[in-house]
Amino acid sequence: MQQTLLATLLVSGGTLVTVDSLMEELWGTTPPAKVENALQAQVSRLRRSLCRLEPGRESRLTTSVSGYVLAVDRGELDAWRFLNAVGTIRARVESGLRRDLRTEIAELREALALWRGPVYGGLVGGPLCQTAAGKYREARNAALALLYQLELDDGGHAKVLPELTELFAQNPLQEQFCKLLMISLYRSGRQIDALNVYRRFHRRLTDNLGIEPSPALRRYEQAILNHDPIMMYGDEHAAVTVPPPVTVPAPVPAAHGERPVRRAPQPVLAR
């Protein structure tokens, strides 16, 4: 309960969270009989914990008529550090004002290393936490796709093949990872395996979701069959595009498996 309360306050990035929102996050549709008192008790427990961890910071968690605010600096949250680092690299790539590939790859790997467990440590929470958790997972997937595209651009297809294989196994319905794995396999001299990856993905989509792969992914299949040079070298039209940025609530919890964390008391983006 305390972890859910902390995550809900952090996900709001230092802005007020209403009493009603906190009650919904903590108890959903089955609140206790005296829910206001129960919430006040949970907030008091959290305030005492924070004071023990940070003597002299009693004012970090404040109360207002309509709710509560947990004051945080952006730099305290792994979540914000992750989003900020990835956003900076993405902006350079999209603008063409890039550093060398290996520097960008190293910076992305450093940002992704902030993920050390599932978002919020696997807490379910209510609507606020669930929505934010989904957004953070999307942000991580987009960052991974960008990382491996840069690795492929740098000629690292053989080096990242095991990582891409594991990543796609963990995300079997993610088309961007399917595409990157196909390219990596093809460039490693494994044309048949690249085609088999596409065909398994095609079956999963049609069997589980009743949809077909995108035209872009189907073009990759044809490029493999035709031994199109773009599979080895890429071009501005065929290369995997930079994933779009993901809009998430202000800084908070979620970062290897996932989970943004605070630097001080309770981990929030990573763990």
Q: What is the DSSP string of the chain?
A: -HHHHHHHHHHTTTS-EEHHHHHHHHHTT---TTHHHHHHHHHHHHHHHHHHHSTT-GGGEEE-SSEEEE---GGGBHHHHHHHHHHHHHHHHHHT----HHHHHHHHHHHHTT--SSGGGG----HHHHHHHHHHHHHHHHHHHHHHHHHHHTT-HHHHHHHHHHHHHHSTT-HHHHHHHHHHHHHTT-HHHHHHHHHHHHHHIIIIIS-PPPHHHHHHHHHHHTT-THHHH--TTTSPPPPPP----SS-S--------BSSSS--S--
Q: What is the pLDDT of residues 34-64, one digit of tens each?
A: 999 999 999 999 999 988 888 877 788 999 8
Q: What is the pLDDT of residues 9-42, one digit of tens each?
A: 998 888 899 999 999 999 998 999 999 999 999 9
Give the chain's domains with CATH numbers. Answer: 2-71 (1.10.10.10), 76-233 (1.25.40.10)
| pTM for the full predicted model | 0.80
